[in-house]
Amino acid sequence: MRHKDNELLEAMYDYVVEYKNENSISPSYGDIANHFGIDRSTACRYMKVLEKEGRLEILGHRSIRIAEEKVFDDSVQVPVLGNIACGAPIFADGRVQSYMALSAAALRGKEHFIVTAQGDSMINIGINDGDMVLVEAVNTADDGSVVVALLDDEATLKRIYRDKEKQKILLVPENDAYETREVDHCIIQGIARKVIKDIV
């Protein structure tokens, strides 16, 4: 590669370690590039150098394993499923598309999965189109929770409430452009716990 800045290389390694410890997930190349004021291709080249030196292993999108025990070494491979509607419900595709390594400590021994938000109905709470959402796999949720709700063969991400008087379940968007949906029944597949974003 072109001239290597050893100070930048060390700073980048430290940044990846600190980011993982603080966020329980690896930084993206966009995160690294923005932090150091460099372009993504340069960030990618330097990360490849760190991998070649055996100091880390790039497993996939936002999934980096640190060789030294400076971060959690008990990472768990969390399945990344299909898109989840943040708008009108879409077909529920439960097939595993890939895996993302997250720290076991952050998951607290509970089963999780990751879905990709599609649409803009949850933008008021920071869930944008294309964001990855970490979901705790449970089948019950308190009123006000943001849930993955299965309606027949459709899945959607909404805030849930129960209207006991009407005996309806309310699926409430976080965008004034969308209306609350009233349904008789839905299956809760999980509660959204964390949004995983790329900074481009």
- Active-site residue 103, yes or no? no
Rounded Cα distance, 3 and 73, in Å = 32
Q: Tell me if 4 sits within 8 A of 10, measured CB to CB.
A: no
Cβ contact 165:108 at 8 Å? no
CB–CB of 80/114 below 8 Å? yes
Secondary structure of residue 132 in the 3-state scheme? strand
Q: Which two tokens stand for residue 16?
A: 């990846």
Which among 28, 75, 145, 158 is annotated as catalytic?
A: 158
The residue from 26, 63, 121, 145 that is catalytic is 121
Judge whether 75 counts as a catalytic residue: no
Closest to 187 measured CA to CA, from 151, 159, 145, 156: 151
Residue 55 DSSP symbol:
S
- The CA distance from 137 to 200, in Å, is 29
Residue environment code for 109-125, b if the CB has 16+ CB neighbours within 10 A, otherwise e: eeebbbbbbbbbbbbee
* Calpha distance 48→141 (Å, rounded): 43
Q: Please identify every residue annotated as catalytic.
A: 121, 158
